[in-house]
Amino acid sequence: MATDFLLAPQRHHAVLDRLRIRGAVNVVELSRLLRISPSTVRRDLRDLELQGLLRRVHGGATALAESVEPDQPARAAEQPEQKRRIAAAALSLIRDRSTILISGGTTTEALAGRLTERRDLTVVTNALPIARILSATASVDVIVLGGVLRHREQSLLGHLAELALAELQIDQVFSSAYGLDAAAGLTGAHVDEAQTDRALLGAGHDIVVLADESKLGRRGPVRLAPLGRVATLVTDAAPDHPVPAALTASGGRVLPA
């Protein structure tokens, strides 16, 4: 008999990770892999479907196309020129001798690569790729938040990261986006990252979102912050695009790339 020793969040995390890799999962496979009963698998799939994170089918579940985000290496190859332009524009927002937080993402990695142009800067991050980029820049002090390593994204998540944030005074948060929508606001693709992502966004006085046009109007399954919390959007989209227009109307700033 299977032993249901995993907590529900752990089981959900495992199901969603396998779903992102394969696009589909089945009850028998998950029962064997996670060493839980088929009835527990079915209950978990039902709960995840109610959260809008998958679609149940006979014998298992399939991924929702709009909720599947490519792995970090695949995303790095997407829109490279737009990311370079967005990073160059965002650099103008960073003041010398300030403390900023840069969350994980391929667009924010492009920004990190340009920080040699700033002096006496402190960067806080939960992303190991960003820490590695900045390790070669002596003029930038780097604070890496602790936490549980999410291998596919090379990011650190959980309670330890959130505790460390409480000890820090951060001026600006620079964040990539899975999606930014006029109604839904800033959204993410991974339910297991949501709590840490919200803590990161709430750690600074101003939120700066770096997003190319393909991210605008897209909604992920996880709400992270309302549009009104975004102080500045750096994007290659036209000013009359519905999302930049809505942000401007709500008092935010749009910086063209």
Q: Model's pTM, two decimal places?
A: 0.73
Report, in angstroms and rounded to the nearest whole number, the Rg of the chain calculated over CA atoms: 19
d(CA 242, CA 238): 9
Q: Which residues of the chain form CATH 3.40.50.1360?
A: 72-256
pLDDT higher than threshold 60 for residue 70: no
Give 72-256's CATH code, choosing from 3.40.30.10, 3.40.190.10, 3.40.50.1360, 3.40.50.1000: 3.40.50.1360
Q: Which residues of the chain form CATH 1.10.10.10?
A: 8-65
d(CA 145, CA 157): 9
CATH of domain 8-65: 1.10.10.10
Asked whether 98 and 122 are in contact (CB, 8 A), the reply is: yes
Most confident among 40-44, 55-59, 232-236 (mean pLDDT): 232-236
Confidence of residue 77 (pLDDT cuts 50, 70, 90): very low
Q: What is the pLDDT of residues 1-20, one digit of tens each?
A: 344 467 787 788 788 877 87
Share of the chain above pLDDT 90, in %: 62
Q: What is the pLDDT of residues 206-253, one digit of tens each?
A: 999 999 999 999 988 889 999 999 999 999 999 899 999 999 999 999
